[in-house]
Structure 1
Amino acid sequence: MTDFTVVQRRLVAAGYNIGSIDGIAGPKTYTALLAYVAQRPMDAVAELGKALATFAPQYGIDATPARLANFIGQAAHESGGFKYLRELWGPTDVQKRYEGRADLGNTQHGDGFRFRGRGIFQLTGRANYRASGQRIGQPLEAQPELAERPDIAVHTACDFWQSRGLSQLADSGLEDTITRRINGGTNGIVERRKYVARAKGLFA
């Protein structure tokens, strides 16, 4: 398991109120981690931090610094620094192409908008909402807006991480491959690398 003592000391030194330095990563430690990486106030990400404290251990994401740093860094990029749990909608030309995309399971009129990106990993498409919802026990296909709820936003991301084998990639140092698994390409790869590096700096 990851030793959080050094991380906690560095967070306290950086001005984050996590309580006692005890090596136990609870909601305050995770909240401070998210706030530090995204450079936002702790209260702005408190609900996400609380959820991550619950789900990161369940999915083994806290087992190594590489896993946790890559997870948080990728999530920070996908959510605009943990500001957006729902995709900003224009619609842009790319978003217009969500409509009717068989690979996303968008088979009904309006699915592109209905199943737009949500959560800290921007879950997208009817098929992905259905599959993730079935795995985590939430009716996401029937109620897609649930994916915006902070606890579910984190849970779907942890589920995605596990379903795509991203812990193994993180442990192997294949960080750009993680980007491709999440994004389908290399969109925002420079910013992703910066977020991941910032997170890794706490553990180094």
Structure 2
Amino acid sequence: MNELIQQLNTKYNTILNQYGLDTQLRRVHFWSQLYHESKLVPRAENLSYSAERLLKIFPKYFKDLETAKKYEHQPEKIANYVYANHNGNTESSDGWHYRGRGFIQLTGRNNYEAFSKHLNNDKILSEPELLLTEVNALVSALWYWKMNKINSVIDNNNELSIQRVTRKINGGTTGIAQRIVLFHEVSKLKLL
């Protein structure tokens, strides 16, 4: 992990600065959160869950085991159900087409459209798998970080800051214990 973060940090130093990640503390938060989200491997959200896991991850949509069993291990069907009619998803296949991708798991048609406009590149919208390249995975994470003003909740290197950053990324504190451990590990690296 440490070696990968150091390599990416060095390789993309200029662009990190351009997006406001210009302090050691901001970079520690950024890299530790991204490592938690994707292990810094540009990937697409899998969504191949058992019925039991669906009940835990998406309790709003799967209230009983019987319903969850109709969806288990059908990632496209799951995505189109749980991501329907929000984040700009309007078409029946948008949930799957615009599922989480990249280092930060950019999700939803609205985010893909806005990121596409930011890059002035319509291909992101028509070919969302482009977020699976290292540079696009990183730039989409940097864009998301900036658009969601994540730097604004970084006060210091305490657990409250880690919780605030986590909420900005996923709306809750999912995986907070691991995120705290990662933060402390990454904080040992010299990133500036």
Q: TM-score range by the shorter chain?
A: 0.7 to 0.9
Q: Which residue of 2 aligns with 1:25?
A: none
How is 1:1-204 mapped onto 2 (pairs within 5 angstroms)?
A: 35-36=1-2, 42=4, 48-49=8-9, 52-61=12-21, 63-79=22-38, 81-90=39-48, 93=54, 94=58, 96=78, 98-99=80-81, 101-139=84-122, 140-172=124-156, 174-203=161-190
CA RMSD of the aligned region, Å? 2.6
Count the aligned residue pairs: 162
Unaligned runs of 5+ in 1: 1-34
Higher-RCO chain (CA-CA 8 Å, sequence separation at least 6)? 2
**How high is the TM-score relative to the length of structure 2?**
0.74
Cα shift at 1:172 = 4.9
Cα shift at 1:136 = 2.5
**How high is the TM-score relative to the length of structure 1?**
0.70
**What amino acid is the match of 1:148?**
L
Of 50-59 and 185-194, deviating more is 50-59
Identity %: 30
**CA distance in structure 1 between the partners assigned to 2:188 and 2:171 by the alignment:** 27
What SS is found at the alignment partner of 2:36?
A: helix
Given that residues 121 and 157 in structure 1 are in contact (C-alpha distance below 8 angstroms), is that contact kept between their aligned partners in structure 2?
Answer: yes
Given that residues 147 and 156 in structure 1 are in contact (C-alpha distance below 8 angstroms), is that contact kept between their aligned partners in structure 2?
Answer: yes
**CA distance in structure 1 between the partners assigned to 2:34 and 2:110 by the alignment:** 21
Cα shift at 1:98 = 5.0
Cα shift at 1:176 = 0.6
**CA distance in structure 1 between the partners assigned to 2:80 and 2:155 by the alignment:** 33
TM superposition outliers: structure 1 runs of 4+ over 6 Å: none
